[in-house]
Amino acid sequence: MPSYTAPVKDMQFVLHDLLKVSQSDIPGYGDLEADFTSAVLEEAGKITSEVLAPLNVVGDKEGCVLENGVVRVPTGFQEAFDQVREGGWTGLDLPEEYGGQGMPYVMGIAVGEMFSSANQAFSMYQGLTHGAASAILAHGTDAQKTTYLPKMVSCEWTGTMNLTEPHCGTDLGLMRTKAVPQDDGSYKISGQKIFISAGEHEMADNIIHLVLAKIPGGPEGIKGVSLFIVPKFIVNEDGTPGARNGVSCGALEEKMGIHGNSTCVMNYDEATGYLLGDAHKGMRAMFTMMNEARIGVGMQGLTQAEAAYQNAVIYAKDRLQGRDVTGVKNPDGPADPLIVHPDIRRNLMDQKSFTEGARAFILWSSTLIDQAHRSGDKDADGLISLLTPVIKGFLTDEGYDMTVQAQQVYGGHGYIEEWGMSQFTRDARIAMIYEGANGVQALDLVGRKLAADGGKHVMAFFEMVKTFLKENDGNEALKKDFLDPLKAASKDLQAAGMYFMQNGMKNPNNALSGSYDFMHLFGHVCLGLMWAKMAKVSMEALENGAEDATFYETKITTGRFYMARRLPATAMHLARINSGADTVMALDAANF
Amino acid sequence: MPSYTAPVKDMQFVLHDLLKVSQSDIPGYGDLEADFTSAVLEEAGKITSEVLAPLNVVGDKEGCVLENGVVRVPTGFQEAFDQVREGGWTGLDLPEEYGGQGMPYVMGIAVGEMFSSANQAFSMYQGLTHGAASAILAHGTDAQKTTYLPKMVSCEWTGTMNLTEPHCGTDLGLMRTKAVPQDDGSYKISGQKIFISAGEHEMADNIIHLVLAKIPGGPEGIKGVSLFIVPKFIVNEDGTPGARNGVSCGALEEKMGIHGNSTCVMNYDEATGYLLGDAHKGMRAMFTMMNEARIGVGMQGLTQAEAAYQNAVIYAKDRLQGRDVTGVKNPDGPADPLIVHPDIRRNLMDQKSFTEGARAFILWSSTLIDQAHRSGDKDADGLISLLTPVIKGFLTDEGYDMTVQAQQVYGGHGYIEEWGMSQFTRDARIAMIYEGANGVQALDLVGRKLAADGGKHVMAFFEMVKTFLKENDGNEALKKDFLDPLKAASKDLQAAGMYFMQNGMKNPNNALSGSYDFMHLFGHVCLGLMWAKMAKVSMEALENGAEDATFYETKITTGRFYMARRLPATAMHLARINSGADTVMALDAANF
């Protein structure tokens, strides 16, 4: 069975060496001293590796079962959920006034990475609740906040988001679910929603569904969509769960992975709902949840890659097969361990350089969110808005590929469910799809985010890279292995942007045909930037006589690998982009 | 449920327009007139799409079950297997003297593609039998041939290959299975083999296991391995199956995919075996099977990509979601079909240009095998030996990626088992692993095949590309879109080979660290060459006033897409290769 060890040391490196969080002037960051974050991360590391990770395979094998309208979660999930609640892990970065711990978002993400690495399907019950709570926090009335938030912050009640219907996913304007206004100000919600993660289960006393629906007579299409709170049990005056509402799980989906999470078809039959935010402004409210969810999903790409990588390394050190071509390394054994072989190392270094780069990227991005929310920094808000589709699309695509590579290290055993490597791949696959399929992320990036505010945010990004390069001009230790490749990659990204500007005007398809490659190109530049920065602080640490020299040297080597072996992808993406829409759009649909 | 339509027209294009098989002087090729191959392919198309494809999902859902030593295959498999046998599909390219139809290998591969696209797990029962029969044909005594081949050609008896043991896969020198010589010239085989595809089932009257084992007292390691025929039922003098042999299925593996195939743990307990070929020369005999199997597995990459692509196209035309950004295309519907969107097309064109290029590559490669076997052409033999790891490694990696892309077209539905797209991905995954994991293919390519016969065969490959470029010098229609990119890609491949020569001498790790990238670089050049040739013959067909102009125009556009959008990967692979072993080998194992 696979194991999981929380990468506390690497997180501490990113938080303190790289991001220097406790020196930041973002409100709340002053508390993030190394010993404090270490204590939190160590504790989270314990519960995730000891309690949640062992349940990962159980969840995959047993899945969820629907019987007489009741959904049974896998063995051990209820007890583990109780432990998570009791440990106070559910409201880490939610406001203290509703029972949370009020820590910055960056800490929520660091801890969230561990939960998801240990057990993605399990962590979703909590993750969806967090997203739903955030939406209520942002758009709810005081009464709604008081009614729902304390219970959701503690996960006594869980939450869901209901967008998709059988005939519409991305194109929510086609939605059919109706919300009919009642005299008491509530609505009667009727319709069917599909793919509802954590839609029904018995682990919580109530489930608070956030449901998109149309109020009859409202504007056509997406502009007529509103968001509603639809509790499984209607909440009594005293705040306790009361009568069963007209919402039920019609079926559980049989999925490729995340079997431990109950993915439901939800039927709403004149269920009582309460408007959340303004009528017909449901998409805006939902996007509060969606943007947060997209970062969380991007993180899932990292988390499955990390868990798979850890196990691949263990196997590569343990499994004896073949001999080192440059000389026997394990003369007392019948063969050398796999890890002596160059192609196994190439494979593992791909993984290692991805996960560590992705971790830095996502934690740095989280500080942008804190900066936007806690400091009201509009530039940070614009930048994270630009980067969100990159985080979601690039990290889940690459993260998935890494789980496939980790599986490969096991040879035939990687294909056998008993070893658990297939599960990482199957679980990771969903992240490329949900919260907006990655093609939609690419469209969002190129079609919307690039030009937002007159292209201000992408210019700010380029400026940031340029500033870093300038500041380190003359740093010979960084130049060849880090600064030069970063400069070249960043130039590719700018050239791609330029191509879009020049050719997208003539025909938007010239830009949209290259959107997916642009998303990946952008992602590589982000990871390249992170690696250059990590190399820099590691070199500084070594110069300052850091105790754990090996850690910093390893970091620099891993970064050099990324720059030499992964970053050259940018030129390929640029070449693809520069070929434009011509061959992409030429065929009649009939000729596919 | 997914459907499958055999790509007869495209196969005919490759066989006749591109390869001009009936004009070849390879013995037997004269019979391959267009109407003959069309008749065979149309018939194969029927049984695969009508009988085998509908059982694909059934096989995945039901899997195989082991009860009291008996393995039950999924519902319908037995009847379908009977139909396949009755139709004479099992010995298409096996010798007539043993009941086969004696057609060239290229026809076996064309038909094999259909079988595997329709139902990979099912087609393996037959495929393994074919491989085992080929090994007996090449290495068996006359008596062995007479005893086993007629029944195996007709698939009344099926076959298996037994290499892997729990502690050794790639490194077969570690093998523990023993073969103790008996006075009557037979051997007693004892040991455990794992991952045995089609290892046990009741669809055939007998199962002929080919088993690698060591004769005690023989040479150490891989040089002491011999190959044995171990029938499930010992064959009576009269050729009928007799007493049960000491071989049994200990367990079925739970796998990520190919559930319809029984992957067995096989226990040999003093089972009677007969030496096949020379003692201690088992690996050589096994490689007869392995090389054929590797081409067949490479083909599986194509087959799952093809099946997944076909369904993705149907969905993309059918599913209405969003509007064409350049103007509404389906004004009477609530939305436009997915296929109007540039990124969906980019995705589908990736798939289309891969499958058609891969089909040409594998059919052309099959003609090399025929040339080697039927014409005794040593150069063809050397070239296909060089290309085998490329076919296996590159086509299965890329084929897998394409199934993942096809799944993505479906959005959330791609993750739901009911739609069948997950199965293509899960089934395709195994092809990257079995018959030598793709890392081992890369090692074989760079560590063995490149330098074989003084590098003669890779030089012949470059010469072939050069000749094609030279012959078409001045062809302006081909130049920019096809010849120039092919030239550039081929130059990248040569530069990579040069890097290995110059740096691999100093340290073999410099070559081996780039082996995986080299395999992909090589694969892209092969597909680029195929596309350039296909474009050329398509242009000629158009000039000659071909009836179906749209078919040829589509071919040219698809080729242009490949050259513009896929081939630029070669420069990236070269950059990675040129970075050498440095960052790959630098870390101590402890620092992963």
> What are the pLDDT digits (tens) for A128-168?
999 999 999 999 999 999 999 999 999 999 999 999 999 99
Cβ-Cβ contacts under 8 Å, B425 against chain A: 256, 429
Q: Is residue A388 assigned to a domain?
A: yes
Is the pLDDT confidence value at B289 over 80? no
Segment B159-178 shows an average pLDDT of 94
Rounded CA separation A496/A573 (Å): 9
What's the number of domains chain A is made of? 3
Phi, psi dihedral angles at B62 (to 5 degrees): -80, -40
Cβ-Cβ contacts under 8 Å, B400 against chain A: 404
Distance of alpha carbon B537 from the chain centroid: 26
Q: Looking at residue A120, what is its pLDDT?
A: 98
Q: With residue A366 as reference, give the H or E element that holds it.
A: helix A342-374
Angle at A436 between CA A435 and CA A438, to 5 degrees: 120
A315 with A439, same domain: the answer is yes
Q: Is residue B462 assigned to a domain?
A: yes
Q: Tokens representing B396? A: 């299965």
> What are the pLDDT digits (tens) for B196-212?
999 999 999 999 999 99
Segment A92-105 shows an average pLDDT of 97
A303 with A247, same domain: the answer is no
Is the pLDDT confidence value at A586 over 80? yes
A377 conformational bin, left if phi > 0, alpha if psi -120 to 50, beta if neither: beta
Interface contact A426-B164, CB threshold 8 A: no
Angle at B544 between CA B543 and CA B549, to 5 degrees: 70
Considering only CB atoms, A408 lies closest to which of B432, B550, B575, namely: B432
A305 with A391, same domain: the answer is yes
Give the ipTM: 0.97
Q: Tokens representing B104? A: 């060239």
Segment B238-250 shows an average pLDDT of 98
Interface contact A583-B560, CB threshold 8 A: yes
Last-in-domain residue among B280, B297, B314:
B280
Q: Is residue A151 assigned to a domain?
A: no
Cβ-Cβ contacts under 8 Å, B438 against chain A: 408
> What are the pLDDT digits (tens) for A560-579?
999 999 999 999 999 999 99
CA distance A61 to chain B (A): 11
Rounded CA separation B362/B432 (Å): 16
Segment A504-523 shows an average pLDDT of 96
Q: Assign B282 a pLDDT band (cuts: 50, 70, 90).
A: very high
Interface contact B571-A569, CB threshold 8 A: no
Phi, psi dihedral angles at A234 (to 5 degrees): -65, 135
User: Considering the entire predicted model, what is its pTM?
Assistant: 0.98
Mutate: best of A258, A345, A355, A519, partner B, most B CBs <10 A: A345
Q: Looking at residue A485, what is its pLDDT?
A: 98
A134 with A173, same domain: the answer is no
Identify the burial level of B246 via C-beta atoms within 10 angstroms of its C-beta, where 0-12 means exposed, 13-18 middle and 19 or more buried.
middle
Contact A181, A214 (CB under 8 A): no
Q: Tokens representing A282? A: 């449901």
From the list A292, A435, A463, A540, the catalytic residue is: A435
> What are the pLDDT digits (tens) for A349-362?
999 999 999 999 99
Whether residue B435 lies in the annotated active site: yes
Q: Assign B293 a pLDDT band (cuts: 50, 70, 90).
A: confident
CATH code of A130's domain: 1.10.540.10
Q: Assign B538 a pLDDT band (cuts: 50, 70, 90).
A: very high
Interface contact B554-A341, CB threshold 8 A: no
Interface contact B412-A195, CB threshold 8 A: yes
Q: Is residue B403 assigned to a domain?
A: yes
Segment B500-527 shows an average pLDDT of 96
Contact B350, B383 (CB under 8 A): no
Q: Tokens representing A309? A: 């990588």
CA distance A445 to chain B (A): 13
Mutate: best of A343, A421, A509, partner B, most B CBs <10 A: A343
Q: Looking at residue B292, what is its pLDDT?
A: 79
Q: Assign B445 a pLDDT band (cuts: 50, 70, 90).
A: very high
Q: Is residue A588 assigned to a domain?
A: no
Interface contact B255-A417, CB threshold 8 A: yes
B276 with B303, same domain: the answer is no
Alpha helix positions (H), A209-326? 282-318
Q: Looking at residue B290, what is its pLDDT?
A: 82
Q: Please name which of A126, A128, A120 lies closest in space to residue A59, comparing C-alpha atoms.
A: A120
Q: Looking at residue B372, what is its pLDDT?
A: 95
> What are the pLDDT digits (tens) for B136-153?
999 999 999 999 999 999
B244 with B315, same domain: the answer is no
A to B CB pairs, distance under 8 Å: 263
Interface contact A572-B576, CB threshold 8 A: no
Is the pLDDT confidence value at A258 over 80? yes
Phi, psi dihedral angles at B433 (to 5 degrees): -105, -55
CA distance A385 to chain B (A): 21
The β-bridge partners of A231 are: A208
The β-bridge partners of B206 are: B157
Chain B CA closest to residue A446:
B343
CATH code of A272's domain: 2.40.110.20
Q: Please name which of B490, B511, B487 lies closest in space to residue B499, comparing C-alpha atoms.
A: B511
B350 with B410, same domain: the answer is yes
Rounded CA separation B420/B308 (Å): 9
Task: Provide the percentage of residues in chain B whose pLDDT is more than 70.
Answer: 100
Q: Is residue B488 assigned to a domain?
A: yes
Q: Looking at residue B284, what is its pLDDT?
A: 85
Q: Assign B85 a pLDDT band (cuts: 50, 70, 90).
A: very high
> What are the pLDDT digits (tens) for B389-404?
999 999 999 999 999 9
> What are the pLDDT digits (tens) for A50-86?
999 999 999 999 999 999 989 999 999 999 999 999 9
Phi, psi dihedral angles at A178 (to 5 degrees): -110, 150
Rounded CA separation B435/B164 (Å): 10
CATH code of A453's domain: 1.20.140.10
Q: Looking at residue A64, what is its pLDDT?
A: 98
Mutate: best of B348, B583, B588, B591, partner A, most A CBs <10 A: B583
> What are the pLDDT digits (tens) for A424-480?
999 999 999 999 999 999 999 999 999 999 999 999 999 999 999 999 999 999 999
Rounded CA separation A255/A259 (Å): 7
A149-167 per-residue burial string, b: 16 or more CB within 10 A, e: under 16: bbbbbbbbbbbbbbbbbeb
> What are the pLDDT digits (tens) for A14-48?
999 999 999 999 999 999 999 999 999 999 999 99
Interface contact B584-A342, CB threshold 8 A: yes
Q: Please name which of B347, B350, B305 lies closest in space to residue B524, comparing C-alpha atoms.
A: B350
B47 with B80, same domain: the answer is yes
A405 with A275, same domain: the answer is no
Last-in-domain residue among A139, A170, A189:
A139
CA distance A496 to chain B (A): 14
Segment B570-577 shows an average pLDDT of 98
Q: Looking at residue A585, what is its pLDDT?
A: 97
Contact A162, A196 (CB under 8 A): yes
Mean pLDDT, chain A, as a whole number? 97
Last-in-domain residue among A86, A106, A139:
A139
Q: Is residue B121 assigned to a domain?
A: yes
What's B29's DSSP letter? G
Task: Provide the percentage of residues in chain A whose pLDDT is more than 90.
Answer: 97
Distance of alpha carbon A108 from the chain centroid: 12
B211-226 per-residue burial string, b: 16 or more CB within 10 A, e: under 16: bbbbbeeeeeebebbb
Rounded CA separation A413/A403 (Å): 14
B194 with B81, same domain: the answer is no
Alpha helix positions (H), B447-483? 456-471, 476-478
Interface contact A433-B408, CB threshold 8 A: yes
Range of the domain at A66: 8-139
Give how far Cα B473 sits from Cα of A194, B51, B470, B478, B484, Å.
Answer: 58, 48, 5, 9, 10
> What are the pLDDT digits (tens) for B349-367?
999 999 999 999 999 999 9
Give how far Cα B129 sits from Cα of B102, B136, B446, Å.
Answer: 16, 11, 30
B85 with B179, same domain: the answer is no
Rounded CA separation B252/B195 (Å): 9
Cβ-Cβ contacts under 8 Å, B326 against chain A: 507-509
Is residue B430 helix, strand or coil?
helix
Q: Is residue B146 assigned to a domain?
A: no
CA distance B68 to chain A (A): 22
Q: Looking at residue A286, what is its pLDDT?
A: 84
> What are the pLDDT digits (tens) for B112-138?
999 999 999 999 999 999 999 999 999
Q: Looking at residue A292, what is its pLDDT?
A: 79
Considering only CB atoms, A349 lies closest to which of B341, B550, B584, namely: B584
Tokens 């945010």 sit on residue: A457
Phi, psi dihedral angles at B250 (to 5 degrees): -85, -30
Contacts of B314 (CB under 8 A, 6+ apart): B3
Segment A195-213 shows an average pLDDT of 98
Interface contact A347-B439, CB threshold 8 A: yes
B190 with B163, same domain: the answer is yes
